[in-house]
Structure 1
């Protein structure tokens, strides 16, 4: 730890949480857009240097991506659910942590690394995923094929290439810790042999970096087959490949590597290593040497709620978004037309994907339909957490407890679709300015209006809420969403949709208030192991 970092750390110990107030970047143009590089040799070599090295240079360059989960976090970044900031940029009671994945291909390691990165960043933990596959692709050599995946290969060229990409990846991790004030680095690699894992553990231990392994094991062949199909379709390894050829290639990679992989905990050298065995993506979790601190316990809790996603999340704005916060009117005639158009659009779209959510459910009886349409969350018995959406072919709808959102779902209710009313999905409370226009707010509260313009995410008016308040309130629903495998439709006020979209697409708090959800569109977010993607679905006029 350098002297400057040590001073910051001591300051945090003296002043406790919030020793440095959260501050918004003065301008969007000042935020960096660089991302971690995988091939530029100008970054200083920290792998072979002692922990006391004071090198301050680094190498960064652009990396393409769909959502923001792979972007480098700049020094002015404030996470949407971040409760406090410190001088060092780290939670002072958690230290530096390397989470290292282990497991054969097709076991969901990349999904784990990316989803963990997304969640920890959302909480304000400076986290970055380092995928060894990115370094392999960036340095690819035509005459090295599947031999690269054999851990004990005797080919000198393969051995040299493997050492090169591992060294580059770990070097970037060390630079992330030392020069970017990173707190959690997630190392996404097979780590097939005990000696690899022990060497990594010892290296980071010397540098006072806590290491925990998460070993993803799969005993259910159906999970492996699904992961193989997804990898053949969307892995960066198979861009522009024919699906059948990609599937065969990935299958061959697994076949070659499987005899060499050694499960963790079977050798004496690994006895002191902390690790989690994560079997069948949450079916069973075993903790070894579990003397963990706050942050690792948050990681383990997240793992308990994590599932591989095959469905999508759909966002639809509730009708009459301008209704006063305290008002709760029913749908008028235009609202009923909107509800039918929304329902038929999403049903037709999902049927086009080959799913049968709506065809398997028979029309409910008139009495049951009327009961569902008039029910609220206080009357409907909601199942225990984790019960909804477990099946991959499931479809669940979430609404707020407002009448106009509940009544919007009546066409789904007739199909027997599960509808849950969540009080956390209530719109952002505007407080004392609830019935005012922007012009009236600027005239009556010019000082507060300036604060709102300066930080629209964190500012709250008297007796009201901020977007940050919504983000904290929505965390239980975010974890529930992580437990679900199938499709979810969320009908809510656009203030709520902005925050949930911000989580799934790894937006910064600077961007969330400016997101726009038109009334005539549905937003679909599709999950992918490497990154999520969003798509707009126009709502058709059926009536």
Structure 2
């Protein structure tokens, strides 16, 4: 039902991450998984470090010295376990894009992975993050020392020192990718320059297009629904109604909430073309942009109706939407999948930007939130995104941190559980 149609029946790709520690590889790997999963492509990351931690939970930098045979042996075992699980996933769970998240800094290690991929008829694609931006490296070191499972419970300064020594051990043997016969993308200082070599399939080109829009600088995304609207009070969907008196109060309080969370950082506000989002963002003292792609899901013939009216007039449609809300398309309108399709340029632009506040609508925010939180598409239409709440998303190497800030201004609930009677939305 609309959306992208990728012919992935016979395509299996192993994305092999390459690069020194603190170059954002894990963050990039997680972003690729999120993006492909968001487009309903079966993707999964296999982090070799997670396998290694089963044998060696808190290694020192010496463990990663190429001259340490025991460290080398355990790291090879971890890589074999990750690759083994990846190929079982390809075979038994219809995997399409598996991502091997590790340093893979030597040609010898990469050749070994290549041989395995070719023997299993899986397309190998290397993604190398090459970085000499000291500010970015230092930020990643500071991030890793506080979020990496390798340094849980350790003194932060000792963790940072040990991590720098680990990087030096890898630098001794690091060989950047230069082989002309390989399929690879080399990201230089993530976003400054991109080198592309022998991209051969449509799906590989989609991954490349996504990677070309990435940066891994620290930033936050803030999300807010518009203030309570007159249609919300009436239980009607869609439309272009004004915000209610309580919605206006939220509009006046929003600058304070945003300032407390954003601080002195620069911020750009994005709204839809519908007046309830513009009215909500009215008092925000930041640059504002309007996006048609952020308009609410089009309810077609049901626009302006209550759920009770929809159930009475179109009972089969009402039941079908409950059964598969992500794929169901309103008569003459849209499905959640359609919304994801039109939001892809928004996601690409979000990845290019730094600090953004999006003031938009329930269905649209569910789709954007699902992207950042890697929520399954069949679950995304059922997520609760309350009115008069500011949501802060902070992407990190090992996941996205979420903070919800309530304005403590009453509003109707527009949330309706699956199978719930049409008396509530």
Answer yes or no: is the 8 Å Cα contact 1:201–1:273 preserved in 2.
no
What is the 5 A alignment of 1:439-458?
Answer: 439-458=308-327
Work out whether 1:338 is the aligned partner of 2:338: no
- CA distance in 2 between counterparts of 1:167 and 1:473 reads 40
What's the secondary structure of 1:315's corresponding residue?
strand
Contact between 2:184 and 2:199, CA under 8 Å: does it hold in 1? no
Deviation string for 1:154-208 (max 9, x for gaps)?
A: 53x3233122112111111111112221111111111121111112112211221
1:20-76 CA distances to partner (integer Å, 9 max, x unpaired)?
xx8xxxxxxxxxxxxxxxxxxxxxxxxxxxxxxxxxxxxxxxxxxxxxxxxxxxxxx
TM-score, normalization: structure 2?
A: 0.89
1:311 aligns with 2:219: yes
Question: Aligned equivalents of 2:42 and 2:242: distance in 1?
Answer: 44
**DSSP-derived class of the 2:132 partner:** coil
Aligned length: 405
**Which residues in structure 2 correspond to 1:457-472 (within 5 Å)?**
457-472=326-341
Distance change >3 Å, CA 326–CA 430, structure 1 → 2 = closer
Q: Output the CA distance in 1 between the equivalents of 2:334 and 2:3.
A: 16
Partner SS state of residue 399, structure 2: coil
Asked if structure 2 preserves the Cα contact closer than 8 Å seen for 1:82 and 1:122, the reply is no
TM-superposed CA distance for 1:502, in Å, is 1.2
Counterparts in 2 of 1:238 and 1:171: CA distance versus 1, 3 Å = same
Residue 211 (structure 2) pairs with residue 296 (structure 1): no
Once the two structures are superposed, residues 51-108 of structure 1 have per-residue CA deviations (whole angstroms, 9 ceiling, x without a partner) of xxxxxxxxxxxxxxxxxxxxxxxxxxxxxx96358xxxx7136x11111011110111
The match for 2:419 is none
Q: Does 1:287 align with 2:196?
A: yes
Indicate how the Cα distance of structure 1 residues 161 and 410 shifts in structure 2: closer, same or farther if over 3 A, else same: same
How far 1:410 sits from its partner (Å)? 2.8
1:507–1:321 Cα change, 3 Å: farther
Q: Matches of 1:450 and 1:286 in 2, distance apart?
A: 50
* Cα drift, residue 427 of structure 1: 0.9
Paired residue for 1:490?
358
User: Pick from 206, 209, 213: which aligns with 2:119?
Assistant: 206
- 2:53 equivalent among 112, 117, 137: 137
Aligned to 2:412: none
> Alpha carbons of 1:530 and 1:326: their partners in 2 closer, same or farther (altered >3 Å)?
closer
CA contact (8 A) 1:309 1:484 kept: no
Shift of 1:523: 1.4
1:523 counterpart SS class = strand
Structure 1 residue 83 corresponds to structure 2 residue 19:
no
Moved more, 240-249 or 330-339: 330-339
Among 372, 397, 411, the residue aligned to 2:283: 411
Cα offsets for 1:383-411 (capped at 9, x unmatched): xxxxxxxxxxx311110112221132232
Q: Which moved more, 1:339-348 or 1:403-412?
A: 403-412
- The within-5 A match list for 1:109-120 is 109-120=25-36
Give the direction of change, closer, same or farther, for the CA distance of 1:424–1:202 in structure 2 (3 Å limit). Answer: same
Q: Distance in 2 between matches of 1:182 and 1:82?
A: 20
- Partner of 1:452, secondary structure, is helix
TM-score, length-scaled by structure 1: 0.71
Tell me the distance in 2 between the aligned counterparts of 1:421 and 1:450: 34
2:387 pairs with 1:514: no
- List runs of 5+ in structure 2 lacking aligned partners: 410-425
Listed one character per residue, the Cα deviations across residues 126-180 of structure 1 (whole Å, up to 9, x for unaligned) are: 11111111111121167x63233123x253x323312211211111111111222
Is the Cα–Cα contact under 8 Å of residues 399 and 419 in structure 1 kept in the other structure? yes
Match of 1:123 in 2: 39
Which structure has the bigger radius of gyration?
1
Change in Cα spacing, 1:422 to 1:235, as seen in structure 2 (3 Å) is same
Pairwise CA distance, 1:240: 2.5
Deviation for aligned residue 1:257: 2.0
Within the candidate set 158, 162, 166, 1:249 is matched to: 162
In the alignment, the residues of structure 2 paired with residue 215 and residue 457 of structure 1 have an alpha-carbon distance, to the nearest angstrom, of 35
